Amino acid sequence: MGHNTVILAAGRGTRMKSQRPKVLHRLAGRALLQHVLDAAAGVPALRTVVVTGHGADEVEAAVAASGCVCVRQMPQLGTGHAVQQAAPALDPAAATTLILNGDVPLVTTATARALLDACGGERLVLLTMTPADPHGYGRVVRDATGERVLAIVEEKDATPAQRAIGEVYTGMMAAPTAALGRWLARLGNDNAQREYYLTDIVAMAVADGVPVAGIAVVDETEALGVNSPQQLADLERRLQRRQADALMTAGVRLADPARFDLRGTLECGADVEIDVGCVFEGRVVLGDGVRVGPHCVLRDTTVAAGARIDAFSHLEGASVGTEARVGPYARLRPGAVLGDEVHVGNFVEVKNSTLARGAKANHLAYLGDATVGERVNYGAGSITANYDGAFKHRTVIGDDVHIGSNCVLIAPVVVGEGATIGGGSTIVRQAPAGQLTIARAKQVTIAGWQRPRRPGKPGGSASGGG
């Protein structure tokens, strides 16, 4: 039997005040349309058809990897007209066709399945809700018993009595595929907006003796669409709270769930604590007992058990070992791999480098394209000069090395095990193991030297700047 899925994604979204197609605006880090595709993927269809229109090239490029079929609605003449464009692309062997909206991103797989099950290829099933303010929605007109749906009346065409109805149509439905094709062929545009309304098929179904049912959405958040930046922001907070609640139910301690943002996936072990203002993007994994301080950003990063990420640190494409400590104000860039008990402190940046167990870079330092051994102490102000203007080169620092403050290690260079580099050194050749290496200019004092003075300005020191 199986089913088709149609996702309507042709709208312009003029109230978004944006050149970006509405369905490509982002919610929790993903396009609105991608959320809908993900929900639909939970009930695999024989064929999924996305109806594009405004910004069609961008929308179609964005969904190319999903394997769906794209058809264009040009011009956009209403929801019925949109489904008419999809009809030739539907699999006729599918008993049911599920219709979803690309700008209603939080519909769940469970709701999509409920619509399909209720339809069963025999009934027209509408997803309805009763919002506090029904303004803008088509009203659900039922018979005197309240059991059967007789029609959907768009607000602009509704009488005052119909506008007083609280139950509204969400824009999502499931219909018998063969009957849907017949109804679409009979649609007209004799209405206030001169558009082809998909909702007109309800009256056709009633006339044809096809049962029409309305099932109420469990959580109205699933049925809320995005037509403005305000609505997008409202859904963002609703979704973030939903995600925060799920994490807290699993035992994660969030200092304030209203100040938490997840834009991907977050896997947490036991006794994880997350302070306010943190953002998680891509895939992030936090081991048992991890503590994340306030206002941190973690993207595609793994943090092992017992590690601590202090305030205002930014980690991307990094791996942090057990009992390690990062920050505050640290930056780990892609390829940063910190071993167990490593300390990376304030204003330290690490890129494409490994730091072995117990290594420390506590202040104002840069490590790029470096291999750092165990128990290394990397001094404040020191850097690896890894780029020669054309190529990147690697610095290798052996176990138990001490790098003094304000050193420059000009790669490629090797610092042997147990070596000490004197503060202020510029190292361009191998530093032997177990020895002190110093490379700095001899200190000289010039007696009788005076600062330059401007003509006609006796005394006074020269001003800075240039």
Rg (CA), the chain: 32
CB 429 within 8 A of CB 411: no
**CA distance readout (Å), 406 to 310, 355, 383, 412, 426:** 24, 19, 8, 18, 9
Q: Give burial (CB, 10 Å; 0-12/13-18/19+) of 337.
A: buried
Q: Give burial (CB, 10 Å; 0-12/13-18/19+) of 228.
A: middle
CB 340 within 8 A of CB 356: no
Active-site pick, 295, 363, 393, 402: 363
> DSSP secondary-structure letter at 387?
B
Question: What would the two tokens of residue 403 be?
Answer: 């790098």
- 249-252-257-259 Cα dihedral, nearest 10 degrees: -160
Q: Helices (DSSP H) in 212-362: which residue ranges?
A: 229-249
**CA distance readout (Å), 36 to 59, 98, 253:** 13, 12, 30
Q: Give burial (CB, 10 Å; 0-12/13-18/19+) of 412.
A: middle
Whether 363 is catalytic: yes
**CA distance readout (Å), 425 to 210, 380, 387, 405:** 86, 13, 18, 9
**364: Cα within 13 Å, side-chain hemisphere:** 9
Q: Which helix (H) or strand (E) holds 176?
A: strand 168-176
CB 261 within 8 A of CB 240: yes
Give the separation between CA 102 and CA 136, rounded to whole angstroms.
18
Give the separation between CA 231 and CA 442, rounded to whole angstroms.
66
Could you give the residue numbers annotated as active site? 363
